[in-house]
Chains A and B, each alone.
Chain A
Amino acid sequence: MFGLETVIVFLAAIVCGTISGIMPGVGGMAVMLMAYPFLIEIQPHNILIFYVAMVSIDQFFGGITAIVFGVPGSSSAVPSAMEGHTLFKNGKSSEAIMFSAIGSWFTSLFGVLLIIAMIPLLFMVYKVWNSTVQMAIFGFTSIAIIWISKNKLLVSVGLFIFGNLLGKVGYDTYTNDSFMTFDTPLLYPGLPVMPVVTTMFVIPLLIGSLRKGATVFEFPGVTLEGYIESFRKIKKYLSTLVRAGLLGSIGGFVPGMSYGMSSILAYTVEKWIQIRKGSYRQGKGDMPSLIASEGANNAGTFTQLVPLLFLGIPITVSEALIYNILDTRGYPVTIEWFQSTFIMIIVFFLISATIGLFAAGRYVNLMRVLNNLKIKWVYLGVVLFLFGAIYYVGNQTLAGFEHLTITAMLLPIGLLLYRMDTMPLIYGFILHDKLFEIAIRVWIMYT
């Protein structure tokens, strides 16, 4: 069953996961599409190995980009960028990176163990996962994210609504209506994620960050000794890890939630707990909240495979691509196949998580070349890189200038928001579709 092909596939997955983690906006799906011609040729179990290894590595590297530069590679890394980069600016860079990486490794293991323990009960879980439960979770997260924001309540509500409105721009096939397109073809496809996250989250965060904390880039790096020390100290975050592992795992395997959402949920819950304990200090960065967000992400990367392998239901677009490949090639995704591949997937997932833990540490030390550079130049470089990435991603569909135009249109608004916590806006933008869909469904069911 294992051979040279498995080794090559695994190494390719490590490379692809690194690329998608480091490069904001590239994402796992884009890398999967680039690897598509390769994936359709390999054995089905190797397709799964590729996927789990790539997603796992992606999470480790994505977390580092978020912490060091304040740039979330995906929507699930938005909380990490917020807390992690603030910790970075406050001189806790190495700690933030090592604790979040080790925490992520533990929650990866947690996710695996939880699924092993729950196999006999999985069908029961799917039975209770209905629209009402989904609405309760999405509703709770929306309210909590508004409540715990550092803004005044009304401001957060306003930002949340504004985020929803931005998400609604464009032609909607589900309603057969256009919203705020002003009959401009530029806006028919809707606002792309990267310009919105860059202008409404990254730029306000970086400007706000420029005004406080260190003025030069200082990163002492991470060491093996530091990792060992952090391993010893991680037990003080045990309750955080259990909460993040649980929320991340559950979020991973339920359709309609995904680990991105569970990461936001775990972050929100943890921040709320820390605020209640009185240990959350606004503007200083919070380690437990960072660990929760990063940990939930990693726990969900494994558990999200369960609905695909157990029920034949892909719950993310990347999984749908895998399902499509397996289906096209005539490999039935059945419970029997799930059982035959389960152990193998666990082994490769844990190996890749361990590689991610240490490889990410090696990568992050390369950032020391920026040491002693004025932080405003580093931020300028980050912003220019993001503009380049926006153009590049847009240009893949011949819409590079359109995406830059949208960025330019949104930029003044983003600049005005630098004093605010724009998480409610981003949350509203990213999840508006799902929130409205479930809300409509629940409304119809109970009226």
Chain B
Amino acid sequence: MKKTLLTIIATLFLALSPSISFAADKIDVIQYSRAGGLHDRMITYVADALGDQFGERIVVDNCAAAIQYLKKTRKPTVAAMAFESMAKQNDGSKNACAIDKKYFMEMYAASPWSVCHRSDNAAATIDALRKSDVRVGVWQNGFYGPRFIKFMEAINPNAKVIPYKKAKMYRAALVAGEITFSISTVAKDGESCPVVLNDTVVGDAEMTAADLEPKAPYSVLGYSYFFAGANIKGADVPAIVFSSDAWKNRRDQRYDVFMTDLSRNKQWKALK
């Protein structure tokens, strides 16, 4: 009985101590956002690109928990952090998701935002976007939310900007007809994105936001990720990702590498 108990305790101890299963050449990847979303796909590309070097997926509740994990782990770990996590909080204090320079690796990927609608919605015209009492669904985010509101106020003062915390919610709202347009970086099946918030027309867009309204603020606005990591020695994770088939065949082709022509220091300055 005593032996059995000791075995159980030893097994539990081993199970409770992640550091014991340390494998020096494996790189863990942090997931801080919901499964199935864009962030999940971005880190899946990293995990797939790492191949045999991939350790495990560390799932945390949010970006603040991801930063805490990066600070504490002794294992090689990489994360794809969102650009806005470096922005100051509304009260001017440091963002709980901001990283120190030593964790910054390199820029990852970016995509411009677009104004999208259901392809089968005949009422979702450019004219309606400019003049009608339309509802536009946007991502409820402390950084992007206010920018979307200002952008839409310039495009169409009659439009109402409706915030949703998750993309799946405004996709369902588009289907339900609760909103006519959404502002998104990735169009799903059955959606079209005629206006892109970029300096040039990309994807299936018909025009840029500046074409629609030259005076609109934030008419060039994108969503972007950068690589953050800890304890990574001897592996150029960004290079591994960008040269991998996982990246080349990514579903989110609108997301592409950016600022790669700049040095790490200059990228960091841009991020700050």
Q: Which chain A residues have a beta carbon within 8 Å of chain B's beta carbons?
A: 29, 33, 36, 126-131, 170-178, 181, 183, 185, 188-190, 192, 255-256, 307, 311-315, 317-321, 323-324, 327-328, 332, 391-392, 395-400, 402, 433, 437, 440-441, 444-445
Report the 4 A-B pairs with minimum CB-CB distance, sorted nearest first.
A176-B142, A320-B36, A171-B96, A189-B65
Is B18 within 8 A of A188, CB to CB? no
B163 touches A398 (CB 8 A): no
For chain B, give the interface size range: 35 or more
Q: Which of B154-185 contact A (CB under 8 A)?
A: 160-165, 168-169, 171-173, 175-178
Residues of A within 8 Å of B162, CB to CB, are 131, 441, 444-445
B44's partner among A33, A324, A437, A440 (CB-CB below 8 A) is A324
Q: Whose C-beta in chain A lies nearest to the C-beta of B94?
A: A183
Of the residues A314, A324, A391, contact of B16 by C-beta under 8 Å:
A391
Identity of the chain B residue whose Cβ is nearest the Cβ of A193 in the assembled complex? B61
Bound Cα distance A237, B178 (Å) = 38
A392, A397, A402: the one contacting B59 at CB < 8 Å is: A397
Instruction: Tell me how many residue pairs across A and B have CB atoms closer than 8 Å.
Output: 166
CA distance A30 to B161 in the complex (A): 35
B positions within 8 Å CB-CB of A: 15-18, 34-37, 40-41, 44, 57-65, 67-69, 72-73, 84-85, 87, 89-91, 93, 95-97, 135, 140-143, 145, 160-165, 168-169, 171-173, 175-178, 188-189, 251
Partner of A256, one of B63, B91, B169: B169
Contact of A441 among B16, B17, B164 (CB under 8 A): B164
Contact B65 A397, beta carbon cutoff 8 Å: yes
Residue of B nearest to A442 (CB): B162
Chain A residues, Cβ within 8 Å of B175:
126-127, 311, 313
Given A173-B141, A395-B18, A256 contacting B68 (CB threshold 8 A): no
Q: Identify the interface centre among A173, A183, A255, A433: most chain B CB within 10 Å of its CB.
A: A173
Name the contact of B168 in the complex, choosing from A313, A324, A327 (C-beta under 8 A). A313
**B97: min CB distance to chain A, Å:** 7
Q: Which chain A positions have C-beta within 8 A of B67?
A: 188
- Give the nearest-CB partner of A318 in chain B: B35
The distance from the CB of A196 to the nearest CB of chain B, in whole angstroms, is: 13
Given contacts A176-B143, A397-B58, contact A313 B35 (CB under 8 A): no
CA distance A173 to B223 in the complex (A): 14
Tell whether, in the assembled complex, residue A398 and residue B57 are in contact, meaning their CB atoms are under 8 Å apart. Answer: no
- Cβ-closest chain A residue relative to B65: A189
Chain A residues closer than 8 Å to B59, beta-carbon distance: 33, 396-397
